Amino acid sequence: MPFDRKIPTRSACCAAVLVLLAAGCSQGGGQAGGGEFREADARAAAQRWVSTEFTPSTLSKEQQLAEMDWFMKAAAPYRGMEINVVSETITTHQYESQRLAKAFTEITGIRLKHDLIQEGDVIEKLQTQIQGGQNIYDAYVNDSDLIGTHARGDYVLPLSDYMAGEGKAVTSPTLDLEDFIGISFTTGPDKKVYQLPDQQFANLYWFRYDWFTDPDVKKQFRDAYGYDLGVPVNWAAYEDIAEFFTSEVNGDGTIDGKKVYGHMDYGRKDPSLGWRFTDAWLSMAGNGDPGIPNGLPVDDWGIRVENCRPVGSSVTRGGDTNGPAAVYALTKYVDWLKKYAPREAAGMNFSEAGPVPAQGNVAQQIFWYTSFTADMTKPGLPVVNEDGTPKWRIAPSPHGAYWKDGHKLGYQDAGSWTLLKSTPAERRAAAWLYAQFVTSKTVSLKKSIAGLTFIRDSDIRSDHFERNAEKYGGLIEFYRGPARVQWTPTGTNVPDYPRLAQLWWQNVATAVTGETTPQQSMDNLAKQQDDILSRLERRGYGGPCAPKLNQERDARYWLDQPGAPVPKLADERGEPETLDYDQLIARWKKAD
């Protein structure tokens, strides 16, 4: 996710599709109206919010009220203060700003201004505060993709240290860090927790379940390809299915007389093109080494680390950013975009391409963000049944020819609360109370229903989502299933996410236009990444985890070593494999 403030960011674009936000969405939901704070009023407010808004919950009403009582008492030293926090513009944070901030103020007496701005602007404010030392916001929600940057700097207050020391009195006894499904994403190389997850969403495989289960369509596919139409396990099967729907179904690539496509993507030279790749496309192909969450010693960006020190991206330094697996990944992306997606897709960016599957002419999409789930379930859409259930489903994404068991298989966005050392202690404490409030078990299930961005395992396994799972097209089953752990954000090998992420879209774009070959694009990217790593090395950024580049050697040396980078495969296709979706779901439920 690049940080060009002129371009809508990935999560912000998701929100634009999900809901048309009202003008001035940066309003604080909880400005206190004045008057003396009374605990009796706060308890009455807690009763009202728990009874009318914070339901359903995984806690009993008595447990919820006890949790709210703790917040009220812990906030006593900070009553009357006005705290400023900021997050990107997505539906989950809109719910926090408009509802939870108001509740927090009524229960604690701390006035809260929760600004909603574009993700790039969040990072700009964060960087300005880091560089200038002047407090702008008292807490930030920013992606855990910055964990490698935060952990190497000296400006973020590690939450592990804060909760055990300065912030002990304002750390909730019911916080339950182990219940957060993304806590590993916000843990640094030193094993300290730096950020608290507030919302998460994944990219997954999306497909038209109604078409895939149609007997006539299934017969046509089997007759043409010799195996069953189903959820593709690998890229070979995905490619066959893309070809089938684009050109062959019903003899001419149509269903009910309407032209359909076997793939959807986007290719405009635009910062959002970078997310398409840094959000784990290379790992899906099999780039880097196995290892959850990000591959060690070579991660899903192709960066090699030794004892937490990044030592290179290029194959000649032991990296894999321009190795055979990465080149294969970029090649397939370009080929599928041109062959199987609607012609206009090559000129679209993320926000323009996102709504296209809901129009009803796309059979599958290998790379689909679950933040679009709510938008895909609106009544009256071509992809929604009359009873409100979806005609589509989501499943694990297929993997490429270089992928091995133990590799990550996809990406999860994890927007997370971050505290800075430059924030005054009292303001930091009050903001930390709010961060815990909006992620507390009292409110988190209702927030999950509003935004479908799960953070707690207890919410995913709640009775509510058990009863309503069919409304979400497999999303609940995915998060309850064993595959979930293979979807992770950018990891700690990336020492300066803002600078390195900008390189990706610029180099991928030239492959789309044909200005460079996929190999040339990835060679350029790897060299540019190494140049930035070299500059960070000279600065000593990261202390004991600062980059220290390997000397360049002949690529053959590294290709002959165990693990990544691996030599080019003689067969980059392999045997296509599919799974029956209903059997896959049954398997997940059995594992659960």
State what percent of residues in the chain have pLDDT above 70: 93
Instruction: Return all residues near 353 (Cβ < 8 A) that are at least 6 apart.
Output: 264, 265, 266, 345
Q: What is the pLDDT of residues 291-341, one digit of tens each?
A: 988 999 999 999 999 999 999 999 999 999 999 999 999 999 999 999 999
In the predicted model, what is the mean pLDDT of residues 7-27?
A: 41
Segment 415-437, tens digit of pLDDT? 999 999 999 999 999 999 999 99
Q: Contact 397/205 with Cβ under 8 angstroms?
A: yes
- Whether residue 56 is preceded by a cis peptide bond, meaning omega within 30 degrees of 0, is yes
pLDDT tens track for 235-283: 999 999 999 999 999 999 999 999 999 999 999 998 889 989 999 899 9
pLDDT digits (tens, 9 = 90+) for 395-410: 989 999 999 999 999 9
Structure tokens at 53: 């808004």
Beta strands in 344-474 (DSSP E): 364-369, 392-395, 412-418
Cβ 388 vs Cβ 471: under 8 Å:
yes
Please check the confidence at residue 195 and state whether its pLDDT lies above 70.
yes
Question: 527-586 pLDDT, tens per residue?
Answer: 999 999 999 999 999 999 999 999 999 999 999 999 999 999 999 999 999 999 988 888
Tell me if residue 362 falls in helix, strand or coil. strand
Statement: residue 4 has pLDDT above 80? no
pLDDT at 10: 52
- Across 91-118, average pLDDT: 95
Q: Which of 8-17, 77-86, 281-290, 394-403 has the lowest mean pLDDT?
A: 8-17
Angle of helix 10-18 relative to helix 271-278, nearest 10 degrees, comes to 100
Note whether 334 and 512 are within 8 A (CB): yes
- Give the range among 115-124, 168-177, 336-345 with minimum mean pLDDT: 115-124
Instruction: Give, rounded to a whole angstrom, the gap between the first and last alpha carbons of the chain.
Output: 33
What distance in Å separates the CA atoms of residue 358 and residue 413, rounded to the nearest whole number? Answer: 22
State the pLDDT at residue 209: 97
pLDDT digits (tens, 9 = 90+) for 342-367: 999 999 998 899 889 999 999 999 99
pLDDT at 32 over 60: no
Cα(181)–Cα(203) distance, integer angstroms: 16
Q: What's the pTM value of the predicted model, to 2 decimals?
A: 0.88
Can you give 108-168 as a three-state secondary structure string? Answer: HCCEEEEEEECHHHHHHHHHHHHHHCCCCCCEEEEEHHHHHHHHHCCCECCHHHHHHCCCH
Residues with Cβ within 8 Å of 68's Cβ and at least 6 positions away in sequence, in order, are 46, 49, 50, 107, 442
Which tokens is 293 given? 């969450």
In this prediction, residues 219-246 reach a mean pLDDT of 98
- pLDDT recorded at residue 366: 96
pLDDT band at 592 (very low <50, low <70, confident <90, very high): low
> Poorest-confidence range of 56-70, 221-235, 484-498?
484-498
What sign has the CA pseudo-torsion 28, 32, 38, 44? negative
Planar angle of CA 116, 186, 460, nearest 5 degrees: 75
**d(C-alpha 169, C-alpha 588), whole Å:** 41
430 by Cβ neighbours in 10 Å (0-12 / 13-18 / 19+) ranks as: buried
Question: Higher confidence at residue 6 or residue 511?
Answer: 511
How much of the chain exceeds pLDDT 90, in percent?
Answer: 81
- pLDDT value at residue 19: 39
- Say if residue 25's pLDDT is above 50: no
Give the pLDDT score at 315: 98
| pLDDT for position 375 | 80
User: Is the CB of residue 565 less than 8 Å from the CB of residue 325?
Assistant: yes
Average pLDDT, whole number, for the chain?
Answer: 92
Looking at the predicted structure, is the pLDDT value of residue 212 above 60?
Answer: yes
pLDDT at res. 298:
97
Q: Which residue, chain included where needed, has tokens 């994890």?
A: 414
Q: Is the pLDDT of residue 165 over 90?
A: yes
Query: How confident is the model at residue 42, as a pLDDT?
Result: 96
Average pLDDT over residues 510-534: 97
